Amino acid sequence: MTASVGRTAPTIPLRAAAFAAAFLLAAAGCKPKEGVFAPPPPPDVTVASPVVATVSDTLEYTGRVRGIETVEVRARVKGFLLTRNVDGGRRVKAGELLFTIDPRPFVAAVKQAEAELETMKANLRLAEVTLDRVELVVAQRAGAKQELDKAEADKSAAEAQVQLAEAKLATAQLDLDYTQVKSPIDGRVGVITVDPGMLVGAIDPTLLATVINDSKVYATYEMDERTIMDLRTRYDNKRPGEDGRPNLKVRLGLVNETGFPHEGEFSRGDNTIDPETGTVKIEAVFDNADGTILPGAFVRLQPRCWGSLRRHFCLMPRCWRTNSGGTCSSSTTRTRLSAGPWSSARCTTGCGASIRGSRSPIW
């Protein structure tokens, strides 16, 4: 009997196979599971104890600013602009020459009016002499009473003609004066759009420049009807400054300013409620010697209620988180007591002790 010869498959010992299987299973068990959320550590926050205090009741509005005086300088006579004596944006004084209109036609008109006046005065002298002679003749019974009446009428007519000539001369002189265009107030000149050589005052009084006195400014804002009624009830229908009480202080802030750094006072309020908006127009006046507040500016206003209505509020730090989430600034603000979760930002304001944890605040 013959045995066949061939390749025999290698065999793995049973113990080695078991060891390999155990190793693979252990490796698979150590792999972390995917999609499981790992909570971050508790954030660091800064806390401070709230303080209950009494604060004044305040109101806030938005408004617009205008100068205490605004004048449109216009050509009051027809003529060609001869000179421009100022540039736009400059400060000028009252009476300072701004423009000159060609005065030659008006000089001629003045001379003509002066000549007419002299003629009328000569006619009046003649009428006076004639009246004296007629009165003498009538007194001697050598003349008719009718001649005396006519002489008296001629004298009265001559007097009227003199007055008319004087009025014409005054008008001509006034027109000549109008060729010297001067600033009526102290202030700053706006943009000038006319140049020498232009014909002005031909149809309508041409606008030459605008002068605004901004040494003081008015801030105009609208107060709603309900607030007006509440204030009138609270203060016996008296406006600020009446009955000897101190005037209402009003604070103002510009768009690029924080808070309300400018302080003025109530100036006046309208005498009616606008039926379309249900508001009353209010104006407050502010000193503006340095020109910080520009006429036409959009402003924020905070009138402080005179009589000082005061209420109890809780004052606590308020923190703003930056985009980077790392820097905060704080200030004291008026707010209500409320509870809620802590912010996840790190806040270091220096106003309290830093704690760790994730819990609701105690106020």
State pLDDT tens for residues 165-192.
999 999 999 999 999 999 999 999 999 9
pLDDT one-digit tens code per residue, 219-266: 999 999 998 888 888 877 877 767 667 788 899 999 999 999 999 999
Mean pLDDT of 122-126: 94
Tell me whether the CATH fold assigned to 61-67+214-309 matches the one assigned to 70-208: no
pTM over the 0.85 mark: no
From 210, 129, 126, 205, select the one nearest 161 (Cα to Cα).
Answer: 126
pLDDT of residue 276: 93
| Span 36-45, average pLDDT | 78
Q: Which fold, 70-208?
A: OB fold (Dihydrolipoamide Acetyltransferase, E2P) (2.40.50)
Domains of the chain, residue spans: 46-56+312-356, 61-67+214-309, 70-208
Instruction: Give the neighbor-by-neighbor strand order of the sheet with 199-200.
Output: 180-182, 97-101, 79-84, 199-200
Half-sphere exposure of 87 (CA within 13 A, CB side): 0
CA 363 to chain centre: 41
Cα 75 from Cα 79, distance rounded (Å): 9
- Its CATH architecture, for the domain 61-67+214-309, is Beta Barrel (2.40)
Q: What is the CA radius of gyration of the chain?
A: 46
3-state secondary structure of 287: strand
Region 56-65 average pLDDT: 84
Structure tokens at 127: 């009428």
Six token digits for residue 54: 């009494």
Which pLDDT value is given to residue 91? 94
- What would the pLDDT profile of 96-121 be if each residue is shown by its tens digit? 999 999 999 999 999 999 999 999 99
The DSSP letter of residue 271 is: S
Q: What is the rounded CA–CA span in Å between residue 171 and residue 152? A: 29
What number is the average pLDDT over the span 267-278? Answer: 92
Least confident of 86-90, 279-283, 347-351: 347-351
The reported pLDDT for the residue numbered 14 is 54
309, pLDDT greater than 80? no
Cα torsion 342, 346, 352, 358: sign: positive
Tokens of 326: 């790392």
Q: What percentage of the chain exceeds 70 in pLDDT?
A: 70
DSSP notation for 158-184: HHHHHHHHHHHHHHHHHHHHHTEEE-S
Distance CA 267, CA 216 (A): 12
Mean pLDDT (the chain) is: 79
Termini Cα distance of the chain: 102
Residues 6+ positions from 36 with CB-CB distance below 8 Å: none
Ranking 137-146, 193-202, 205-214, 272-281 by mean pLDDT, the lowest is 137-146
C-alpha distances (whole Å) from 341 to each of 70, 345, 362, 363 are 55, 12, 10, 11
Q: Where are the beta strands (DSSP E) in the chain?
A: 44-46, 51-56, 61-74, 79-84, 91-92, 97-101, 180-182, 187-189, 199-200, 207-224, 249-254, 262-269, 279-287, 298-303, 310-321, 328-335, 354-356
User: Is residue 301 within 8 Å of residue 251, measured between CB atoms?
Assistant: yes
Residue 357, CA distances (Å) to 43, 271, 319, 343, 344 in order: 6, 59, 18, 11, 10
pLDDT reading at 1 higher than 60: no
Comparing 45-59, 124-138, 187-201, the range with the smallest average pLDDT is 45-59
What is the pLDDT averaged over residues 319-345? 41
Where b means 16+ CB within 10 Å and e means fewer, 119-137 reads: ebbebbeebeebbeebeee
> Which pLDDT score is estimated for 315?
59
CA distances, 205 to each of 83, 177, 194, 360 (Å): 17, 16, 13, 72
